[in-house]
Amino acid sequence: MKPAPFEYVPATSAADAVDALRRFGDEAKVLAGGQSLIPMMALRLARPAALVDINGCGELEDLSETGGALTVGALVRQRELERWARERAPLLAEALRWVAHPPIRNRGTVVGSLVHADPASELPALLLCLDGAVVARRKGGERVIPADKLYVAPLTTSLESDELATAARFTLPPEGAGWGFAEVARRHGDFALVGCAAVLALDAAGVVSHARLGFFGVGPTPARSAAGEAVLIGHEPGPARLAEAARAAAAVLRPDGDLHATAGYRSKVAGTLAERVLAAAVARSRRAA
């Protein structure tokens, strides 16, 4: 199929793009990598009146780390971050390895995936686990939207129609922290049926001082588990403690069932993956000590 007719608006700066978004309102879509948007347009699941192309906005290509904070501009491709993160942020590198296939990651953008807000996507859950945020620019200024305020429903964020997501910010794990990541999918490159990520740090006494546990594919939005984290903080992470944290985390999830998996299956797998990623995070943290 072919997309419905639309007006093509090439932007040369973020300000240009914001002006176009103000002009067209809800009828506009932003084109960066286009790996989700263009197929949806081809199937006429999306019918924007205008496509605002930001690929000419060189100011949105920033990929930098300052003081433990990683900034990823709206034009940074997933493959670019994957390569950058191998030594500096291996959790991000591992998660990105599971995103579709290399040709898709060569074109798809990190910020685009974040604001597309597919609940089965890896990157939104990582934004939660790494205390991240999205920077949104509009006429007259910008605001920073924390990850826990960004996702409101499947494929829906709190971005306004006249706002352009210009960057994502991730807080890199503390020194010596360990991490774990796992997902279950029908085939490599498919969206996850269930996925889980963890970041965990130990203090000098071997007690958990920092814990983050996130899930994707288990509800309408990515989820960070305060219940699972609370079981870990201030305790030694032995096998029984990790199992208890995984059970607590899975117990409060409310996944939906569909033709790919039942809700019960997703809950069961979420608990299993949580225990595995927590154990991997503990092992990496101990090796780093």
Domains of the chain, by residue range, sit at 7-53, 59-171, 178-288
Q: What is the pLDDT of residue 31?
A: 98
Residue 262's pLDDT is: 97
Distance CA 231, CA 238 (A): 12
Q: What value does the mean pLDDT take over residues 86-93?
A: 95
pLDDT at 11: 98
Q: What is the pLDDT of residue 35?
A: 95
- Position 209 scores a pLDDT of 97
**pLDDT confidence bin for 288, thresholds 50/70/90:** confident
Mean pLDDT, the chain, integer: 96
- pLDDT of 272: 98
Percent of the chain with pLDDT over 90: 96
Tokens of 184: 């279950």
CA angle at residue 129 from 154 to 186, to 5 degrees? Answer: 55
pLDDT above 70: percentage of residues in the chain = 100
Whether residue 197 contacts residue 126, with contact meaning beta carbons closer than 8 Å, is answered with yes
- DSSP assignment of 108-170, as one string? -BHHHHHHHT-TT-HHHHHHHHTT-EEEEEETTEEEEEEHHHHEEETTEES--TT-EEEEEEE
Per-residue model confidence (pLDDT) at position 92: 97
Tens digit of pLDDT for each residue in 224-282?
999 999 999 999 999 999 999 999 999 999 999 999 999 999 999 999 999 999 999 99
Given a cut of 90, is residue 289 above it in pLDDT? Answer: no
CATH class of 59-171: alpha beta
On whether the 178-288 domain is CATH 3.30.1360.40, my answer is no
Instruction: Identify the band that residue 56 occupies on the pLDDT scale cut at 50, 70 and 90.
Output: very high
Q: Quick one: pLDDT at residue 38?
A: 95
Helix or strand holding residue 196 (H, E): strand 194-202
pLDDT by residue (tens digit) across 106-133?
999 999 999 999 999 999 999 999 999 9
154-198 residue pLDDT tens: 999 999 999 999 999 999 999 899 999 999 999 888 889 999 999
pLDDT value, residue 224: 97
3-state secondary structure of 145: strand
The candidate with the shortest Cα–Cα distance to 225, out of 207, 235, 212, 236, is 212
pLDDT at 1 (0 to 100): 73
Average pLDDT of the residues in 13-34: 97
pTM tops 0.85: yes
Query: What fold is seen in the domain 7-53?
Result: 3.30.43
Instruction: Find the mean pLDDT for residues 78-107.
Output: 96
